[in-house]
Chains A and B, each alone.
Chain A
């Protein structure tokens, strides 16, 4: 048990669980303040999400809907994760996602391209946005957070402008891809049958998981990934060892951008949503990606699950009783979770301390009989050791 807790992966998992539980708890307390009568039911709706429906058929269909939105979220969080490994905080992921979405929709509706070229266009658009941040960071020493935010807004307005050309006449939304540009629709390969004929289930879902595995392999098993991580750990040391640290920064942001851009295409090319051409705020998908990346312990495989969890509660927010609460309650919970993720290092530190204390205690009590009551002076000593 103790040895298990010492492992970094297990610690990350426990820390994430603590963040989730605390996040939900604080969310529950907020709900209590707003309206004490329905708080318990509301938080259960958020947790239950598609189990809201009693019929298994409807549950399956709504599970599918949650998965449809998990795929782009996973791509965004992979983008954040990948850049974070190189020491960059890619908050521009939202803009890269927007750029990818815009490119995919525009190519599908305006240019009438098939789905594969549309995906490629989205990847390129996203990576262009990433590369701009990378170039500014590597050569002009511009903080990537600030340039990323600026590009988020530029991307939003640019997309609104471009996509106004392909919007419906009577509404501010873009045309339906299914009816106007059917060949740009992502193929489903029969996967929709698994989810009770949910038409939005496409290759996007398996593809996003495959990408997660690929990212994991690239980061952990290749020389390229090693160089990127080394640059992230110490830029100067990496340079000293002959790694092209500037190139690594730009390449990692290009890859991060292309991941986010692909994410945008994976959502909009299913026709699950239409782009709102008058939107005045950057879509939350990218920011939720940041939450998922940190909640997943910055591990590509962990991110698969954390992305699902974040999307699960976000979708669950829609089922909350609207007469008492608003659906933003799930945004609140996920932002509390990110805030708590800032404490992960501290939680791990505390866990290591507790383990070290226990081991010391056990050693002091003798190897064969670890007694529950340790001698008092030893305890005081341990306390000091823990603080240092």
Chain B
């Protein structure tokens, strides 16, 4: 039972971080469908940093450097989406999809190249970080506390304050609702949208490293992040683009995702003889159902997905 709570919290943290990223990006008016790819790249940055740090370093330094690496790679990678969608007014869906595919392919190629360079016989795309991963975990009894749970909460509070209590946040949201109106009072829509996408890149990168650290002590990058970027978008829609609701939605989705990891710990679930694949499908099925019941009355930022055109009224 404790294990279930632990996994629920960690997956909820991933979803919260990434969904908050999506939320900021959409409030600025850009649909960030590339979150999945950004997660993979961020995860790669963090994982490589973890591998290269010695496990003798102080946990605080390890955590900090890993987070910085993930955020940095996430932000740089999200520039690809930002430049195409904001400056070149490209179709956000196509570019987002390309960013996703590119993320997995690039991460695989980079990791494999590094592995092969270090050891010619090693052609796998796996990064191991068993020693340094411990820096993220704190044992409280039999409950394994992960620093990411705290980071997710901090991110939640920060995003809430940023969006609703600061000038910047309100202007950002104006750019997603009616960019021409925002521009007429002197807001630079392009800058705001860049800010939105880059912040979502940072949060996506964080979510990525958090996701792979939730699992075992190594990660194969050709697997990507199993649709978590899109689950996060579903969480965001279910959360109605509001940070506090996103956190609740993330808990719900995190629970179903956690179930597939720990269902064999419950006797009555094992006795029910449901194939493991059903538990794997569960988060996706739930999200489809949830979307079917919530999308009808959902109110997305009005101008999302439409490239900003100064001349349009």
The answer to whether A28 has its CB under 8 Å from any CB of chain B is no
Q: Could you tell me the distance between the alpha carbons of A34 and B88 in the complex, rounded to whole angstroms?
A: 30
Say yes or no: A150 contacts B287, CB within 8 Å. yes
**Residues 241 to 290 of chain B near chain A (Cβ within 8 Å):** 275, 277-278, 280-281, 284-285, 287-288
The answer to whether A51 has its CB under 8 Å from any CB of chain B is no
Q: Could you tell me the distance between the alpha carbons of A153 and B277 in the complex, rounded to whole angstroms?
A: 11
Say yes or no: B116 contacts A328, CB within 8 Å. no
**Candidates A150, A157, A335; contact of B102 at CB < 8 Å:** A335
> B281-307 CB contact bits vs A (8 Å, 1 = yes)?
100110110011101101000000000
The answer to whether A166 has its CB under 8 Å from any CB of chain B is no
The answer to whether B109 has its CB under 8 Å from any CB of chain A is yes
The answer to whether B91 has its CB under 8 Å from any CB of chain A is yes
A208 to chain B, nearest CB (A): 23
The number of chain B residues with a CB under 8 A from chain A is 53
Tell whether A326 pairs with B108 under 8 Å between CB atoms, given A136-B288, A142-B292, A341-B94.
Answer: yes
Q: Could you tell me the distance between the alpha carbons of A157 and B279 in the complex, rounded to whole angstroms?
A: 9
Binds B, one of A244-252, A342-350, A364-372: A342-350
Say yes or no: B288 contacts A280, CB within 8 Å. no
Q: Could you tell me the distance between the alpha carbons of A322 and B288 in the complex, rounded to whole angstroms?
A: 41
Q: How large, as a class, is the contact surface on chain A?
A: 35 or more
B192 to chain A, nearest CB (A): 21
The answer to whether B112 has its CB under 8 Å from any CB of chain A is yes
Instruction: Other than A331-B101, A335-B102, A336-B102, give 4 A-B pairs with Cβ distance below 8 A.
Output: A150-B285, A336-B98, A342-B88, A346-B90
B residues at A contact (CB < 8 Å): 33, 80, 84-85, 88-91, 93-95, 97-99, 101-102, 104-106, 108-109, 112-113, 116-117, 120, 123, 125, 222-224, 226-227, 230-231, 233-234, 237, 275, 277-278, 280-281, 284-285, 287-288, 291-293, 295-296, 298
29 example contacts (A-B, Cβ-Cβ < 8 A) are as follows: A89-B94, A89-B97, A136-B291, A140-B292, A141-B296, A143-B291, A147-B291, A149-B227, A149-B230, A150-B285, A152-B227, A154-B281, A157-B280, A280-B223, A281-B222, A281-B223, A281-B226, A287-B101, A290-B94, A294-B94, A323-B116, A323-B120, A324-B116, A326-B108, A326-B116, A338-B98, A341-B98, A343-B84, A345-B90
A residues at B contact (CB < 8 Å): 30, 34-35, 89, 91, 136, 140-143, 145-147, 149-154, 157-158, 160-161, 280-281, 287, 290-291, 294, 322-326, 328-329, 331-332, 334-336, 338-339, 341-343, 345-346
